[in-house]
Structure 1
Amino acid sequence: MTLRPTPPDGLIDGTRHLYAVRVYYEDTDLSQVAYHANYLRWFERARSDLLRRLDIDQRAAVESGEGAYAVADLSIRYLRPARLDDDIVIETHCTQLRAASCRMHQRALRGDELLAEADLRVGFVAPDGRPRRQPRAWQEAFKSLLSSEEEPQ
């Protein structure tokens, strides 16, 4: 039997998604501090993994011409630097669900220390770039991540 590694996998814990990343040399500048744009990559990977955990097949949706998710709005705040070899957990919460979009809050954590956080809105768009309703099953999947005080609209 040949052992083969598998890509990183996140998990859903209640209403949050957790995804682990490590800061590699390529992620850092000369001072071994993670370059600010890498947080955007880590957040994107976590959101992509979240879709997989929710059984949302974004590749099939694109290939069938149904549409895709696109970031429509993003605000990020950097608090502490991540450094070479740090283990980081990206935590994602769905804060609002609408017919064609979802708002999320993401945090990059080193243990209990908050390094960066972002608030964003992702919209579901048709191949021509116009907003489109998310598939009903996808909306239902996202509802599982909303806490009881966050009602879908």
Structure 2
Amino acid sequence: MQTIPENDDPKGAARFVLPVRVYYEDTDAAGVVYYANYLRFCERARTEWLRAIGFEQQRMLADDGLAFVVRSVKADYLAPACLDDALSVVSTLNELRRASITFGQQIVRGSELLFDASIQIACVDWNRRKPAALPAAIRSQLETLQAV
């Protein structure tokens, strides 16, 4: 059994924790969380973190024509989650670049590490389907969090 350290980032980077309950719809025929649903839990956590710091992705698309898309995922499935488990999605900001953000995301049950991923999100001009610089307000807010 792997455990998540109390402070997994020695620099003290900002963390966002989203509680998640496993429902029947999240499980596969064996009664464990279907592998793709871990990515769904991570998506919800990133979206809620942005919302918590004042940014809504639908508004960004409508106002600026910009969207966040997943560019890459590196994930390790370490132990299964099961029906009714109370989980936490722990998200950290690992890297901030001109047009992308890399998040570290872990899913834990108590102190047990179940899932560990690095997920790179690209900012794109939705009309041109090309990379675009992160909006200045988001970049500024994320830089502030990164310095925490």
TM-score in terms of structure 1 length: 0.84
Partner of 1:138: 138
One-letter code of the match for 2:144?
Answer: S
Matches within 5 A, 1:66-145: 66-127=65-126, 128-145=128-145
The structural deviation recorded for 1:141 is 1.3
The structural deviation recorded for 1:14 is 6.6
User: Matched residues, percent identical?
Assistant: 36
CA distances 1:29-85 after superposition (whole Å, capped 9, x unpaired): 232111101101000000110110111121112112431111111111000000000
1:32 has 2:16 as partner: no
More helix by share: 2
Determine the C-alpha separation between the residues in 1 that align with 2:100 and 2:39.
Answer: 19
Name which structure has the greater RCO, CA cutoff 8 Å, separation 6+: 2
Determine the C-alpha separation between the residues in 1 that align with 2:132 and 2:63.
Answer: 14
Determine the C-alpha separation between the residues in 1 that align with 2:88 and 2:68.
Answer: 23
Q: Which runs of 4+ in 1 moved over 6 A?
A: none
Count of residues in correspondence between the two structures: 136
In structure 2, runs of 5+ residues without a counterpart are 1-11
Q: CA RMSD in A?
A: 1.6
One-letter code of the match for 1:138?
Answer: I
Determine the C-alpha separation between the residues in 2 that align with 1:147 and 1:64.
Answer: 28
CA distances 1:79-115 after superposition (whole Å, capped 9, x unpaired): 0000000000000000111111111100000000000
Contact between 1:18 and 1:90, CA under 8 Å: does it hold in 2? yes
SS at match of 1:99: coil
SS at match of 1:124: strand
CA distances 1:128-151 after superposition (whole Å, capped 9, x unpaired): 210001111100111133256xxx
